[in-house]
Structure 1
């Protein structure tokens, strides 16, 4: 096993720095956008090249396929990139293509469940804020690792978790 140098000059194995829990979105939405993006690019790029070589009409159809394919591909990659890496006393939050932001578990001041509905489907979220009401994270109950993460929160922030459970999901 290879060692890496930590900030104090010592070494740590990869097992020591691996997160205990990883909280991520479900695979389904990201995979759909990735597939649509690849299909759009596979149709659009060769079609545009053929259109240019053949000198046929100046239809924007293949250009639209390329733009929609690239947009869908980027959206799928952004959805797949977001995650929360949970360690013993802190967690790292990453949204989309951004970088990881370290958050300390002691900074969690408020935990609340929320309900988001589009009429037919209802999603339950868990949101954390610090003392200044800055959002620390938001996860949904269907995320991979959600149950393990909430058990971790219950152990490290029992008062905040008990208050969150007491208030429950708003109507």
Structure 2
């Protein structure tokens, strides 16, 4: 159990202190990749075993390819679902893929900028990225993430100068 020293020298547990809100990707892409990957693994691995039991020595390359691709899709889907930003009062924790949560201080944000990404004339995605004074990326989130509105309101309250500059520059074409 985690403990924190209070002002009178005693300790109180910090177990119940959770984030104010969490910013994360929409569920749909992660669920699709995870589901397709799991289905391919569930079909591929038993298929290889059954094929080798029925006719030993038979080439099971296609089923092996299916199982391998399924494992990759499964890992990709799980990594998409694990990416998030946990937001607290004066800091936030960023987790990208299977990496560990990295604590970032809101006071370290020096630059906030919008950027656009498109897939060749199709759908356009808008991201919000923050950097510190050493030009190290602090986070990158997209406008379709769950919790995006709350996060931008939180940023505007805690980093008003940087947020005003980001709003002034707007979304590039």
Answer yes or no: same fold by TM over 0.5: yes
CA distance in 2, matches of 1:67, 1:89: 43
After TM superposition, what 4+ stretches of structure 1 lie above 2 angstroms from structure 2?
11-15
- 2:2–2:15 CA contact under 8 A, matched in 1: no
Instruction: Report how many residues are paired.
Output: 167
Could you list the per-position Cα deviations for residues 110-156 of structure 1 after superposition, in whole angstroms to 9, with x for gaps in the alignment? 00011111121000100000001100000000000000000000000
| 2:23 paired with 1:23 | yes
Displacement of 1:21 after TM fit?
A: 1.2
Match of 2:36 in 1: 36
Displacement of 1:51 after TM fit?
A: 1.0
Match of 2:110 in 1: 109
Displacement of 1:7 after TM fit?
A: 4.6
Match of 2:154 in 1: 152
3-state DSSP class of the match of 1:66? Answer: helix
CA distance in 1, matches of 2:53, 2:4: 56
| 2:45 paired with 1:45 | yes
Could you list the per-position Cα deviations for residues 17-37 of structure 1 after superposition, in whole angstroms to 9, with x for gaps in the alignment? 200010000011100100111
- 2:33–2:74 CA contact under 8 A, matched in 1: yes
Larger deviation: 4-13 or 105-114?
4-13
Match of 2:59 in 1: 58
| 2:3 paired with 1:6 | yes
Matches within 5 A, 1:62-77: 62-77=63-78
TM-score (norm 2): 0.92
3-state DSSP class of the match of 1:42? Answer: helix
CA distance in 2, matches of 1:80, 1:113: 23
Displacement of 1:52 after TM fit?
A: 1.2
Q: Which segments of 5 or more consecutive residues in structure 2 lack a partner in the other structure?
A: none
Structure 1 14/162 Cα, relative in aligned 2: closer, same or farther at 3 Å? Answer: same
